[in-house]
């Protein structure tokens, strides 16, 4: 079904969408961090290689699953974690996942149209199967009795946090899917924005990307000045030299004494060379 965007989503909706996007974009790093021991190093480690292994493991698991198995990785709340190496990362991921899943359930209850009725071959009213299977619909979990331990179906949670974040973004921004959704009330939109902001802070704090400043133990390999590393929420890490513009490091078109993004590679290489040189 074609989607359209509401013409005038309020600023709070855009803030919520930005925070939800930041959560899902960093979710892979947080999952990878669960399996790695915390390390006092700066900047925060990138986990691309580990994520590739994780994706390969997921594909292998999917190949072994029966056709009716859920798509993607099970939610953290439904998985076993026999030996997590980073409990802080696991706690953060579990907290964020639970909050966004619960929020999606609440939003669906308030703005999502119930499944239309249809008649079966005997004339009885039954849920419309096509309407039930609409891919834009959020399905809360179902329970046999009460509580998560008795869950009969994970519903849309089986598709993981990425889908929950994308679905919530759409509801916050007022994306339209026919008559499936009503506009979100202002109070509920505020709740979505607050939860998304809190989730982003939790993820970035667990990954060391919450705007902290760290004094590096090693001096600038060019001028001997003190090096300071900074992280910014949603931004790239930056290293600056206390010597400032007088730093003798090659500038290469950038501001002397400041390294960010790809420039950090040259700094790390110079620091590694300095470690290998014999002391004078």
Domain ranges of the chain: 11-206, 213-276
Q: What digits encode the pLDDT tens for the residues 185-241? A: 999 999 999 999 999 999 999 988 887 788 888 999 999 999 998 877 666 788 999
pLDDT band at 253 (very low <50, low <70, confident <90, very high): low
Cα separation, 272 vs 252, whole angstroms: 20
pTM of structure? 0.70
- pLDDT at residue number 268: 86
Sequence-distant (6+) residues with CB within 8 A of 232 are 209, 211, 238
**CA atoms within 13 Å, Cβ hemisphere of 145:** 3
Q: For 65-156, where are the E strands, in sequence order?
A: 117-119, 125-127, 142-143, 151-153
Q: Is the pLDDT of residue 64 over 70?
A: no
User: Mapping DSSP to helix (H, G, I), strand (E, B) and coil, where does residue 171 land?
Assistant: helix
For the chain, the farthest-separated pair of C-alpha atoms sits apart, in whole angstroms, at 93
Burial 142-168 (b: 16+ CB within 10 A, else e): eeeeeeeeebeebbbbbbbbebbbebb
* Residue 220: Cβ within 10 Å count: 23
Cα separation, 240 vs 254, whole angstroms: 12
């Amino acid at each position: 079904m074609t989607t359209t965007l509401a013409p005038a989503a309020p600023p709070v909706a855009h803030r919520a969408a930005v925070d939800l996007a930041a959560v899902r974009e960093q979710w892979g790093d947080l999952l990878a961090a669960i399996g790695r021991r915390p390390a006092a190093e700066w900047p925060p480690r990138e986990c691309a290689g580990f994520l590739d292994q994780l994706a390969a493991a997921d594909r292998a698991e999917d190949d072994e699953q029966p056709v009716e198995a859920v798509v993607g990785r099970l939610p953290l709340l439904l998985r076993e974690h026999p030996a997590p190496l980073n409990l802080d990362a696991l706690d953060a991921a579990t907290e964020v996942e639970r909050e966004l899943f619960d929020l999606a359930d609440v939003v669906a209850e308030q703005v999502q149209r119930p499944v239309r009725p249809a008649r079966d071959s005997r004339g009885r009213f039954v849920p419309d199967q096509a309407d039930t299977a609409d891919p834009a619909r959020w399905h809360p979990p179902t329970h046999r009795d009460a509580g998560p331990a008795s869950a009969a179906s994970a519903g849309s949670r089986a598709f993981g946090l990425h889908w929950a974040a994308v679905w919530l973004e759409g509801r916050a921004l007022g994306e339209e899917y026919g008559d499936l959704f009503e506009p979100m009330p202002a109070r509920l939109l505020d709740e979505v924005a607050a939860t998304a902001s809190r989730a982003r802070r939790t993820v970035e704090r667990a990954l060391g990307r919450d705007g902290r400043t760290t004094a590096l133990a090693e001096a600038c390999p060019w001028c001997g000045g003190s090096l300071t590393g900074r992280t910014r929420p949603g931004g790239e890490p930056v290293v600056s030299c206390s010597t400032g513009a007088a730093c003798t490091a090659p500038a290469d078109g950038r501001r002397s004494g400041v390294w960010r993004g790809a420039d950090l590679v040259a700094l790390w290489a110079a620091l590694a060379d300095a470690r290998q040189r014999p002391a004078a």
